[in-house]
């Protein structure tokens, strides 16, 4: 695994300017299947350092990758094109590194210039007590959800990419990362402000 950047502490921007990085839900996008026998959460959290490239085979969607961000059948790992890594470097974004992968398309042809994205930045534990319970109407009735995916701001290490201390798969980014993705027209991603994030489960 090679280092992409180091964390530099800075002022907490507010939960409305920090975002959870997730899938856009575009069903036709190339989706890979990672041949991992190790901890895929650990890969993304930069806690597992593979000696050999991780193989990523076609699983569903279009026959060849067409986006700089690729998702897999695992819940957590994010595979990114080298062009996106260069974008992160050019902006000086902190809190990330990379690991080697080999991507193969539906015809088992090698697709070069992709890497696994690992996140080295951290914040403290997610705090359920900081969320707000709100009712939501569903076909089966009214059920509560919890709004806010929050943590002690003082626990943030100042990284542009970071993950909570618990071994969850959430990847958080600051607003500058979101804007850089939008300017570059990076598709196949969704950003949700942490103060607007809703969940039906407790932390």
> Is 37 a domain residue?
yes
Q: What is the pLDDT of residue 154?
A: 97
- Could you tell me the sign of the dihedral formed by the alpha carbons of 47, 1, 49, 25, in that order? positive
Which residues sit opposite 100 in a β-bridge?
115
What does the pLDDT average to over 7-31? 86
Mean per-residue pLDDT, 176-183: 98
Residue 33 falls within a domain, yes or no? yes
Burial 164-190 (b: 16+ CB within 10 A, else e): beeeebbbbbbbebbebbeeeebebbe
DSSP annotation of 151: B
- Please report whether residue 66 resides in a domain: yes
Report how far apart, in Å, the C-alpha atoms of 180 and of each of 50, 112, 136 are: 29, 24, 33
Asked whether residue 2 is domain-assigned, the answer is no
Interval 37-46: pLDDT, tens:
668 899 999 9
Confidence of residue 7 (pLDDT cuts 50, 70, 90): very low
Residue 4 counted as domain residue: no
**Cβ-Cβ contacts under 8 Å for 193 (sequence gap 6 or more):** 15, 16, 17, 18, 19
pLDDT of amino acid 80? 98
Q: Residue 3: inside a domain, yes or no?
A: no
Q: How confident is the model at residue 13 (pLDDT cuts 50, 70, 90)?
A: very high
Q: Is residue 193 part of a domain?
A: yes
65 part of a folded domain: yes
What is the model's pTM?
Answer: 0.91
Task: Identify which has the larger pLDDT, 84 or 133.
Answer: 84
Residue 104 has pLDDT above 70, yes or no: yes
Check residue 9 and give its pLDDT.
Answer: 55
Residue 1, pLDDT above cutoff 70: no
Say if residue 6's pLDDT is above 50: no
Number of domains composing the chain: 1
Which tens digits make up the pLDDT trace of 126-158?
Answer: 999 999 988 888 888 888 889 999 999 999 999
Supply the pLDDT for residue 202: 79
Parent domain of 61: 9-199
CB atoms closer than 10 angstroms to residue 4: 21
């Amino acid at each position: 695994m090679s280092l992409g950047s180091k964390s530099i502490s800075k002022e907490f921007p507010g939960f409305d300017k920090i975002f959870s990085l997730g899938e856009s839900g575009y069903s036709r996008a190339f989706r890979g299947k990672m041949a991992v026998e190790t901890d895929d959460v650990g890969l993304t959290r930069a806690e597992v350092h593979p000696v050999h490239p991780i193989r990523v085979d076609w699983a569903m969607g279009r026959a060849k990758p067409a986006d700089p961000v690729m998702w897999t059948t695992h819940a957590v790992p994010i595979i990114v094109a080298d062009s996106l890594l260069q974008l992160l470097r050019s902006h000086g974004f902190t809190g990330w590194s990379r690991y080697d992968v080999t991507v193969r398309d539906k015809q088992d042809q090698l697709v070069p210039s992709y890497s696994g994205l690992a996140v080295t930045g951290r914040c403290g534990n997610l705090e359920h007590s900081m969320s707000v319970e709100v009712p939501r109407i569903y076909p089966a009735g009214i059920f509560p959800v919890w709004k806010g995916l929050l943590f002690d701001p003082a626990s943030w290490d100042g990284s542009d990419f970071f993950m909570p201390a618990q071994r969850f798969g959430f990847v958080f980014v600051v607003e500058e990362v979101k804007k850089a993705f939008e300017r570059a027209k990076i598709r196949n991603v969704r950003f949700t402000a942490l103060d607007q994030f809703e969940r039906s489960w407790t932390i």
